[in-house]
Structure 1
Amino acid sequence: MCATYREACQQLHLLEDNTHWDATLRDASISSPPNQIRMLFAIIISTCFPSNPLELWNKYKDFMAEDILIRLQHRSNDPALLLTLEMYNEALIMIEDLCLTIANKALGQLGLTQPNRPMHDLFERELQREQQFDRDELRAFVQTYTPH
């Protein structure tokens, strides 16, 4: 017994596997920027119905979130910053927005987990709060309270 018709078809090997889509995303990850990889991924999952979109996401999510990481490394002036769940969530939100535009389908309807939009809002507010400090005031504070 399977939970969905699609799952039953997969178990019976009636659907193509992800080989073609995997090769397509692998090629794109070598030569395309993250926004184009996200667009390609959104097109694939919303119009081509790969057998395991979650597997493709897990394999290529680093490439799809790379620009988010770089942007946050620059904003925080921390080149050692690594990819986080919040960054992946941000990429999923962008992908879901594309899928909603392309096929009017949310990620949950396409075999992926829904992005956490409240986390996104909290993440953006926290980032804005972190950037709203007076540099001169901070510099004066450090000079005043740092032992010489």
Structure 2
Amino acid sequence: MLLVNVPSPTSFQQLKTVNGVTHATFRSVCQALNLLENDGHWDECINDACNTSHPIQIRALFAIILTTCSPSSPIELWEKYKSHMAEYILHQRRNENANTYLDFTAEIYNGALIRIENLCLEIANKVLTQLEMTSPNRSAATLFDGELRREQT
């Protein structure tokens, strides 16, 4: 795509430079040149789902988008909608701890990431790092669940 749209490139370094800014990847160069679609339609899609769907459905939609649509900034989409995707996990933790004031924590978001990664593995046999996302901390989730079970007994 770049070779067709950048006139007379003489090096890979030149291909990665747009308006004096050298980009780390060819994909970011394509984005800077507006050769790729942005994530606006994925943002709108997830936003609509947040207004009409349950957290498990939003996580499933996000996993489908990650595995089949290759969004340009999946981490930005995660950061924007992670509370919606983790909402039911928070609800479960509040019930388990009998604490209605419990708020989102890193462990709750990690739980949502684990569920999303599990879906991505089912859909495309890919972990989140292969989809340009941060990997969930599975050992922390196991540790957290163990501590929670000990407190409940």
> Normalising TM by the smaller chain, what interval?
0.7 to 0.9
- Which residue, 79, 87, 90 being the options, matches 1:66? 87
Identity of aligned residues (%): 54
Return the match for 1:12 from 33, 41, 46.
Answer: 33
The CA deviation at 1:130 is 1.1
Would you say 1:87 and 2:108 are equivalent positions?
A: yes
In structure 2, C-alpha distance between the alignment counterparts of 1:12 and 1:125, rounded to whole Å: 49
Q: CA deviation at 1:109?
A: 1.2
Query: How far did residue 121 of structure 1 move?
Result: 0.7
Alignment map for 1:1-148 (pairs within 5 Å): 1-132=22-153
Change (3 A) 1:107 1:36: same
Shift of 1:86: 0.4
Other-structure match for 2:13: none
Aligned-CA RMSD value: 1.1
Give, in angstroms, the shift of residue 5 of structure 1.
3.3
Q: Which has the higher contact order (CA 8 A, sep 6+)?
A: 1
Which segments of 5 or more consecutive residues in structure 1 lack a partner in the other structure? 133-148
Deviation at 1:10, TM superposition (A): 2.3
Aligned residues: 132
SS of the residue 1:16 aligns to: coil
Supply the distance in 2 between the matched residues of 1:45 and 1:65 (Cα, whole angstroms): 17
Aligned amino acid, residue 31 of structure 2: Q
Q: TM-score normalized by structure 2?
A: 0.82
| 3-state secondary structure, aligned to 1:39 | helix
Letter in 1 for 2:52: S
Work out the CA distance in 1 between the residues paired with 2:76 and 2:125: 22
Shift of 1:4: 3.1
Task: Compute the displacement of 1:14 (Å).
Answer: 1.9
Divergent runs of 4+, >6 A? none
Match of 2:6 in 1: none
In structure 2, how many angstroms separate the alpha carbons of the residues matched to 1:9 and 1:118? 37
Instruction: List alignment gaps of at least 5 residues for structure 2.
Output: 1-21
